[in-house]
Every structure is written in structure tokens, then in C-alpha cells.
Amino acid sequence: MPLLCVSKLTVHYGGYLALRDVSIEVRQGEIVCVMGANGSGKSTLLNAISGLVEGQGGVVLEGRSLQGIPTHERLALGLAHVLERRRLFPYLTVLENLQLGAYLPTLRGARAQALERVESLFPILRERRHQLAQSLSGGEQQQVAIARAMMGNPRFLMLDEPFLGLSPYMVEEISLVIRAVNQEGVTVLFNEQSVQLSLGLSHRGYILESGRLALSGTSAGLLADPRLHEIYMGLSYA
């Protein structure tokens, strides 16, 4: 049984069709990427999985349908979601942001250990503890955002464009962290425009085109697939 199973998901924004009949699967222990151009529906897919937008179709996590479960009850089911552009609480300190990651009463008891764990993953956060989140650089903010999600001790982590606007050095750092988190047993689903970057990091990938699933497969298979090059003609490869 896959960890996450999305079947025939359709999302409308008013009259605009953002996703149409999209089905994906993520298996336990995998890193899976969703690629596609701007407006192809990558973020919408993640937002529908966490319940931030409503859609028709099935979303099943560890055999349990998420239908009708409000967003704020999904972290307790093991689902964490880092939104595009980090979205830290700008006027809270780094530490407060992290503490809120373990807000759920069931997580509070182990908060100190969780903090220890994420700060060993991101040593810079220890130095930044008492700084306001908005004063951090983009790369540091991304680290806090991932660390905050990890404070919730998720089994499944979704990252929406985690590399957006980061320096090449930071892209490398964040990639390493995603691998490290995955090695601790967290299954990861992330979005990214760049094919090379995405497929270099993930086991499998899905490619969306105008809200529909265009292509899917293992990362090695996709890289060798001529159709990938057709779909991505004129799009950035970097």
C-alpha cells in the first residue's frame, strides 16, 4: 500500500480548472518530485493534499481518506507541508517559529528533543534562535521552514518550491537536508520547476502540464525519456 494515494483529483478556482483528474502515488521512504511550468498546478496539488484548497477526488494517507478532515487536524496524521516562499511568522523569533512547529499537545512533551534534533540538522538555527524570522536570509528562512515542519515529527513531508530564489550553495545545502530527513525515514514530496535539480534529488517524478498529468516515472527513466524534452522545450533546464 502506498503512503499517499491521490486519485482523480480535480480542483477548480472559480471557473478556472487548476487540476484535472490527477492521480499520483508516493511510497513509504521515497523522495518524489512534481515538476511543471508556472501555473501547471504543482502547488495546487500539494495544497489539495493538505486541505488548504478543496478538490474532488480521493486523497488517502496511510490507508485513511483525508476527505472532510480539516487542515489543522492533518499534522496529527503525520502530514507536514512547507508552503512556497517559506512563510515564516515574520514577527516571531526563530525559536518561537520552531516551538509552534510542535504546538500540538501530543508533541509538546518531546519538544526539547525535537528542537535538539532540528538544530543538529541546521546548526545555524542555534545562532539565530532569538532573531526575528523576517531578519533572516532566504536560505536561512527555508531552513527554519523545514525545521519547523520537522518539529511536528511528520512521516510525510511536502515542500512547495523549496529551492525558489536560493543561491547555488543554499540549493546544495537544502538538497542535503532533504536527503538527511528522508534517511531518517520521512517520505518527501516536493515541487520544483528545474528538471535537473528535481530528478537529481528524487527517486521518481511526475510532470504536470496545464493541470493534467503529462508524464511520470523513475528519475533515471524520465531523464532518458525524449517526451520530457518535448514537454520542457523552451523551459529552463538549469
134 vs 167, beta carbon nearer other proteins: 134
**52 scored as a contact of other proteins (CB under 8 A):** yes
Cell of 238: 538549469
Give 112's strand partners.
none
Stretch that binds other proteins, among 25-33, 76-84, 175-183, 226-234 (CB under 8 A): 76-84
152 is an interface residue for other proteins by CB under 8 A: yes
73, 127, 172, 230: which one contacts other proteins (CB under 8 A)?
Answer: 73
Closer residue to other proteins in complex, CB, 75/213: 75
| Residue 46 burial (10 A CB sphere; 0-12, 13-18, 19+) | buried
Strands (E), the chain: 4-13, 16-26, 31-35, 56-61, 64-65, 79-82, 156-159, 187-192, 204-209, 212-218
**Closer to other proteins by Cβ: residue 89 or 216:** 89
CA distances from 175 to 97, 111, 194 (A): 22, 25, 13
Distance CA 131, CA 69 (A): 35
130: burial class by Cβ within 10 Å (0-12, 13-18, 19+)? exposed
Q: x/- string (CB under 8 A) for other proteins, residues 97-126? A: --xxx-xx---x------------------
- Is position 89 an interface residue for other proteins (rule: CB under 8 A)? yes
Q: Does 148 bind other proteins (CB under 8 A)?
A: yes
Compare residues 87 and 229 and give the one whose CB is closer to other proteins.
87
Please return the burial class of 160, using the count of CB atoms within 10 Å of its CB with bins 0-12, 13-18 and 19+.
buried
Question: CB neighbours (10 Å) of residue 126?
Answer: 14
Q: Which of 10, 23, 71, 194 binds other proteins (CB under 8 A)?
A: 71
| Residue 73 vs 230, nearer CB to other proteins | 73
Residue closer to other proteins, measured from CB, 40 or 50: 50
Binding residues vs other proteins (CB under 8 A): 50, 52, 70-76, 80-81, 83, 87, 89-92, 96, 99-101, 103-104, 108, 148, 152
